[in-house]
Structure 1
Amino acid sequence: MPDTRYTFLDTPIGALLLAGADERLRCIGFPTGKGAVTPRADWHRDDAAFAEARRQLSAYFEGRLTRFDLDLDPRGTPFQRAVWEELTCIPPGETISYGALARRIGRPSASRAVGAANGANPLPIVVPCHRVIGAAGSLTGFAGGLDTKKWLLALERGATSRVSEQLSLL
């Protein structure tokens, strides 16, 4: 099995951890919150790794990229992978409910399982789980925190300066 390499990318939401093997991205970790990921002892830091992922993520955070084209290697069950694949079909800046996502994958009664798969997404932002919201339109659970979810949606909608000002007041 190839060595897992990792690096960090400074972004407006903090330093993201990028990890994987053979330039195939397996993990994006947030700097804090329940989505915080720290490198494992058997991982090797390589700040030259994932150059294309760093380039595309930087362009995303600058508002110049809305779709990613990266080699990904997420690990999950077939159900989780189906949910994650469908997440990539949600247009930037748009949102859908967990129930709508469950219907899209042909499992209309599986909204809770869809929520669990969303929470297990190892590649947030690139696989945009932040675009899924509660049935009543509320922002619900997100590994990077609700402020980060709000910021990402605002970025995609072209309104980050206002959200950044609000976050600085917190």
Structure 2
Amino acid sequence: MNRHAKVSTRIGELTVVVSDGALIGVYFPHHWVKPTAETLGVEASDPLIDVVVEQLEEYFACERVTFDLPTQLHGDEFQRRVWTVLEEIPYGETTTYGEIAGRLGEPTHAAQAVGKAVGQNPLSIVIPCHRVIGKNGSLTGYAGGLKRKQFLLDLEQPVGARLF
């Protein structure tokens, strides 16, 4: 049975969803692809939610650069391939939609399809879709909004380079 909890973080409220011992969702209040009532399940405590919250707090305190959580992703084959590439983007680095398309062996014009898959990532922050930017270095869409995306990118910079 799916369980969820709304948690307060440095970047606002997040909804954390777990199912059968795996994290299946981290959503912003105005997330582009909203979870269904079935995906959310019941609002209830769960030991895994506590672990997710702890790791998010460590990440926001710059004490964690990767997440060590059991996850279960639900998406089509192309989405899962894109999400796997997202997980490989190192902390503090960025890539572009076109570069991801290239890594997948897709033509560069597939960047738009990559962008759509990135936007459907159900594990915001944990699978670092905020590390994907436009080919000209510009910030592009983010389910949590561009201010949050910029905050996360700044958070991952060396201490002297942070803007906050």
TM above 0.5, one fold?
Answer: yes
Matched, 1:40 2:18: no
Q: Per-residue deviation at 1:32?
A: 3.3
3-state DSSP class of the match of 1:32?
Answer: coil
Q: Per-residue deviation at 1:33?
A: 5.3
CA contact (8 A) 1:27 1:122 kept: yes
3-state DSSP class of the match of 1:34?
Answer: coil
Range moving further from structure 2, 91-100 or 37-46: 37-46
Partner of 2:113: 113
3-state DSSP class of the match of 1:53?
Answer: helix
Partner of 2:22: 24
Q: How does 1:9-158 map to 2 (within 5 A)?
A: 9-32=7-30, 34=32, 37=34, 40=37, 43-49=41-47, 50-109=49-108, 110-158=110-158
**Structure 1-normalised TM-score?**
0.86
Partner of 1:167: none
3-state DSSP class of the match of 1:157?
Answer: coil
Change (3 A) 1:34 1:159: farther
Q: Which amino acid aligns with 1:21?
A: S
**Structure 2-normalised TM-score?**
0.89
Range moving further from structure 2, 46-55 or 128-137: 46-55
Change (3 A) 1:147 1:159: farther
Change (3 A) 1:64 1:26: same
CA contact (8 A) 2:3 2:46 kept: no
CA contact (8 A) 1:97 1:134 kept: yes
Percent identity over paired residues: 42
CA contact (8 A) 1:101 1:114 kept: yes
Change (3 A) 1:150 1:17: same
Tell me, in whole angstroms, the C-alpha distance in 1 between the residues paired with 2:158 and 2:53.
21
Instruction: Give the aligned CA root-mean-square deviation in angstroms.
Output: 2.2
Q: Per-residue deviation at 1:70?
A: 0.8
Stretches of structure 1 lacking an aligned partner (at least 5 in a row): 165-170
Q: Which amino acid aligns with 1:142?
A: Y
Work out the number of aligned pairs and report it: 161
